[in-house]
């Protein structure tokens, strides 16, 4: 049997990892400037955590979770990061220690969706959660933080969509308005949407089926049924978004796949076409009732998650930076020992070095050095050892010099410094 990675789960090879690191470093740098600190929670959580927080009638919980039983516990590979972070926040009684907490996370999530370009069964998310602030000022600030992060990545073809889902009473009213609207038109709905009409009518608005979409365009708008407090919150969000001039579009039919949202909801969509149907780069919203529903005190919260694979698909491929590392080629036993010493010295000085340990002749080692991607090759043979020198080949310029052994490090620094200038 041929062993392969699980369908929809990808390897990220060292040759691709540079872009990932850049993305992750940029994310950390931007959110830390806004006061967020990293949290790491387990990848496996009790299944009930997701059922209770994400909602039983969502696609994620109904059919996409990787759940299993082990040692009499029902467990699930996390399909998203908000529920685990909320569990940790509550378990460690963080609310009793600080009034406002800003957390971020980076890591793999698991959903058994049908794989496609930009849609995987293991995928990576970067997300953030803000606990203890009811908004709307911090909602606008979070959306602005996201917009700035995307700018730093050089992603300009992105649209920010916002909506309000109101509080529970508004939601209830809107739910009824949708049932009243769709019930007499049920025969025009897709099978999936007909099923949702009873269980979770808001999800109909998220349907990708063309016939559903046409009907949804005529459905009542939630923005027409917001109560006064919801309305004031939404107006506030729009006012604050205008301060940093974050461009956005109000989409009254924006809903998201998880049930826990209240009031502010937002989504970032790539408009460059690279992503096809999977153009949602990330999104989030308020979930003011989750902490209480999980057994904690009333704690307003807002958060978002971004899909890293989709961001990478939307980002420009980058030129590969010329690596400034040194290939050390020793000829013979004595030179090999000296090569180990020399490589250690280089690494202590912060210069990457790799020793060719095969102990072959120079005419075998040089081609390997040339094709390795190294910038320099240091050749050490008996002759060089006797004379107290090394042969230093610059593989980029194809020049060679013979500095004294103890001049090698300053000379390398000089040459690498020229590169940096």
In terms of CB distance, is 116 or 404 closer to ligand AMP?
A: 116
DSSP string, 62-118: III-EEEEETTEEEEE-S-SHHHHHHHHHHTTHHHH-S-EEEEEEEEEE--PPPBTT
> ∠ CA 126-131-135 to the nearest 5 degrees?
100
Q: Which residue's Cβ lies closest to ligand AMP? A: 307
Enumerate the β-bridge partners of residue 264: 164
Q: Which residues contact 221 (CB under 8 A, 6 or more apart)?
A: 252, 253
Supply the DSSP symbol for 323. Answer: P
Q: Binding residue for ligand AMP (CB under 6 A) from 257, 270, 300, 303?
A: 257
- Find the shortest distance in angstroms from Cβ 244 to ligand AMP: 22
Q: Binding residue for ligand AMP (CB under 6 A) from 282, 296, 303, 330?
A: 282
CA distance 298 to 131: 10
**Three-state DSSP class for residue 386:** helix
Q: 22-81: which residues touch ligand AMP (CB under 6 A)?
A: 80
- 10 Å CB burial of residue 238 (0-12, 13-18, 19+) is middle
CA distance 370 to 380: 16
- Find the shortest distance in angstroms from Cβ 146 to ligand AMP: 11
Q: Which stretch binds ligand AMP (CB under 6 A): 13-21, 66-74, 233-241, 303-311?
A: 303-311
Of 336, 349, 420, the C-alpha closest to 378 is 336
Contact 343, 409 (CB under 8 A): no
In terms of CB distance, is 222 or 280 closer to ligand AMP?
A: 280
- Find the shortest distance in angstroms from Cβ 98 to ligand AMP: 26
The answer to whether residue 281 forms part of the interface with ligand AMP (CB under 6 A) is yes
Enumerate the β-bridge partners of residue 302: 130, 286
Q: Tell me the site size for ligand AMP, rule CB under 6 A.
A: 18
Which string of b and e fits 256-280 if b means at least 16 CB within 10 Å? bbbbbbbbbbbbbbbeeeebeebbb
Q: Binding residue for ligand AMP (CB under 6 A) from 128, 225, 280, 380?
A: 280
Q: Binding residue for ligand AMP (CB under 6 A) from 95, 102, 196, 256?
A: 256
| CA dihedral angle for residue 35, residue 41, residue 45, residue 49, rounded to 10 degrees | -20
In terms of CB distance, is 259 or 356 closer to ligand AMP?
A: 259
Q: Binding residue for ligand AMP (CB under 6 A) from 41, 101, 125, 164?
A: 125
- Find the shortest distance in angstroms from Cβ 255 to ligand AMP: 11
- Find the shortest distance in angstroms from Cβ 254 to ligand AMP: 12
The answer to whether residue 285 forms part of the interface with ligand AMP (CB under 6 A) is no
Supply the DSSP symbol for 282. Answer: E
In terms of CB distance, is 116 or 349 closer to ligand AMP?
A: 116
Contact flags string 155-194 toward ligand AMP, x per CB under 6 A: ----------------------------------------
The answer to whether residue 149 forms part of the interface with ligand AMP (CB under 6 A) is no
Interface contacts to ligand AMP, rule CB under 6 A? 80, 111, 113, 118-120, 123, 125, 256-257, 280-283, 305, 307, 309-310
């Amino acid at each position: 049997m041929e062993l392969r990675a699980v369908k929809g789960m990808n390897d990220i090879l060292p040759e691709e990892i540079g872009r990932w690191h850049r993305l992750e470093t940029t994310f950390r740098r931007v959110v830390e400037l806004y006061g967020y600190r990293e949290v790491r929670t387990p990848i496996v959580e009790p299944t009930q955590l997701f059922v209770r927080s994400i909602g039983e009638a969502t696609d994620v919980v109904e059919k996409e979770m990787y759940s299993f039983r082990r040692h009499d516990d029902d467990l699930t590979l996390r399909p998203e990061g908000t529920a685990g972070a909320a569990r940790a926040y509550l378990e460690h009684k963080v609310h009793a220690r600080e009034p406002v907490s800003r957390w971020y996370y980076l890591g793999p999530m698991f959903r058994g969706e049908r794989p496609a370009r930009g849609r995987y069964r293991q995928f990576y998310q970067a997300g953030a959660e803000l606990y203890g602030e009811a908004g709307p000022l911090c909602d606008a600030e979070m959306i602005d933080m996201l917009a700035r992060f995307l700018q730093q990545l050089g992603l300009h073809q992105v649209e920010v969509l916002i909506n309000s889902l109101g509080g529970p009473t508004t939601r209830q009213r809107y739910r009824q308005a949708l049932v009243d609207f769709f019930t007499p038109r049920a025969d025009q709905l897709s099978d999936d949407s007909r099923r949702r009409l009873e269980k979770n009518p808001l999800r109909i608005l998220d349907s990708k089926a063309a016939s559903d979409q046409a009907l949804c365009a005529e459905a009542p708008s939630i923005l027409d049924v917001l109560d006064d407090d919801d309305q004031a919150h939404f107006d506030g969000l729009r006012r604050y978004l205008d301060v940093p001039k974050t461009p956005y579009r109000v989409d009254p039919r924006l809903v998201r796949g998880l049930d826990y949202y209240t009031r502010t909801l937002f989504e970032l969509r790539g408009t460059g076409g690279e992503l096809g149907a999977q153009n949602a780069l990330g999104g989030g919203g308020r979930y003011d009732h989750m902490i209480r529903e999980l057994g904690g005190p009333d704690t307003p919260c807002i958060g978002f998650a971004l899909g890293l694979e989709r961001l990478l698909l939307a980002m420009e491929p980058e030129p590969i930076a010329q690596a400034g590392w040194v290939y050390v080629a020793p000829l013979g036993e004595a030179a090999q020992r000296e090569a180990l010493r020399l490589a250690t010295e280089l690494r202590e000085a912060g210069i990457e070095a790799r020793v060719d340990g095969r102990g072959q002749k120079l005419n075998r080692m040089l081609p390997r050095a040339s094709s390795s991607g190294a910038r320099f090759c240091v050749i050490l043979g008996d002759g060089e050892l006797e004379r107290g020198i090394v042969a230093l080949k610059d593989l980029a310029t194809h020049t060679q010099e013979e500095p004294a052994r103890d001049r090698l490090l300053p000379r390398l620094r000089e040459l690498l410094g020229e590169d940096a200038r």
